[in-house]
Amino acid sequence: MIRILVTGVGSLLGQGILKSLSVSSLECRVTGTDYFPSAVGLYWIDKGYILPDILKPEIDEEEWIETLIKVINHEKVKIVLPGLDFEIPILARNKSIIEEQTEAVLVVSSEEIVTIGDDKWGTVKYLRDNNFHYPKSCLPDQINDFSWVNSFPLIVKPRFGHTSENVFLVKNEVELHTAIQKCHKPIIQEYLSDTEQEYTCGSTCMNGEVMTLISLRRTLKNGNTQQAFCEKTAEIDEYIKKLTLSLNPYGPINFQLRLNERGPVVFEINPRFSGTTPIRALFGVNEVEAVINRIMGTTTRSEYKEKEGVVIRYFENQFVTWDQYKVYSS
């Protein structure tokens, strides 16, 4: 029985990790953490904990890490899988502390890689400096330095973070300056126009070896994958494998790209599991299982073969009793 801890079990990402575990061949005892009793993943697992809300100013990082370490040790956790975007930089900074004070392996990449993913300007610079395709980009104080900025439409979005909020498609100079004012620490990028050729690509890598890789064409609704299509994508797969090995993450890494006349153009890198991780598992590539197997030294599935087809995302509802709910709300 492998003892797993998943953080952020109420988030789309955390739920996806739990769903991937549920369709795996692994025998696990799953502990989960979140911040609210409404986190649905708390009701899917063996044991749940409410952590102090790290986003509140009165909760400092050291206190949060100490609480997490207590949970890990109390539950005798062997592997920690982060399930919330904003926790990942904190966990990356404290990886050595957590692993020194527990018997768990924390599946998070280095601070350097996490920063490359979190900062879209850093993403562009990494792609450019390592000879990968990248979207033409600039910061607000550079807009007069590049002629392409006059080629509308353009994208204006926050430089930091991973949500689809405050992403603006601007069609003229007035809209450009309005979007820059509305957007916190914005970055301006060329519009990669062919939305029918958008792909979400995921790989897992440990010790310089790519273990799994899958590229899915997708359609979006409110910034999230609505449908995913698994087709033959040899060109993209080879490109993503090369980029993965260049970055050398620890565990999962996710890429968003569009395919155009230049080839695959990556515009976002997320060194973590993805909201589409459970979708990939349905296509036969279970990233969560692959990472756990590598850490545990087991080989229940030495190879993950993708199945071509379509996955359609839908909403679910969860009933919980008052007694269950009160466990986390008291």
pLDDT category at 220 given cuts 50, 70, 90 is: confident
On whether residue 113 sits in a domain, the answer given is: no
User: What does the block give as tokens for 204?
Assistant: 């897992």
On whether residue 224 sits in a domain, the answer given is: yes
On whether residue 319 sits in a domain, the answer given is: no
With tokens 């797969």, the residue in question is: 237
Answer whether 292's CB lies under 8 Å from 277's CB: no
d(CA 274, CA 277): 5
Question: Is the pLDDT reported for residue 108 higher than 60?
Answer: yes
Asked if 212 and 235 sit in the same domain, the reply is yes
Domain that holds residue 144: 136-190
Q: Which of 89, 108, 127 is the last residue of a domain?
A: 108
* Total structural domains within the chain: 3
Asked if 211 and 247 sit in the same domain, the reply is yes
CB environment 75-96: b (16+ within 10 A), e (fewer): bebbbbbbbbbebbebbbebbe
DSSP-based three-state secondary structure for 70: helix
pTM of the entire predicted model: 0.91
Looking up residue 283, the CATH number of its domain turns out to be 3.30.470.20
Average confidence (pLDDT) over 13-26: 94
Average confidence (pLDDT) over 235-249: 95
On whether residue 10 sits in a domain, the answer given is: yes
Per-residue model confidence (pLDDT) at position 106: 98
On whether residue 130 sits in a domain, the answer given is: no
Per-residue model confidence (pLDDT) at position 164: 65
The model's pLDDT over 58-94, given as tens digits with 9 standing for 90+, comes to 889 999 999 999 999 999 999 999 999 999 999 999 9
On whether residue 318 sits in a domain, the answer given is: no
Q: Which of 190, 221, 252 is the last residue of a domain?
A: 190
133-137, 225-229, 241-245, 297-301: range with highest mean pLDDT = 241-245
d(CA 316, CA 180): 37
| H or E element that contains 225 | strand 224-230
On whether residue 321 sits in a domain, the answer given is: no
Asked if 199 and 308 sit in the same domain, the reply is yes
On whether residue 285 sits in a domain, the answer given is: yes
Asked if 143 and 185 sit in the same domain, the reply is yes
With tokens 């230049």, the residue in question is: 262
Asked if 150 and 90 sit in the same domain, the reply is no
Asked if 69 and 152 sit in the same domain, the reply is no
CA distance to 132, 209, 214, 239, 293, per residue, from 245 (Å): 13, 7, 15, 10, 20
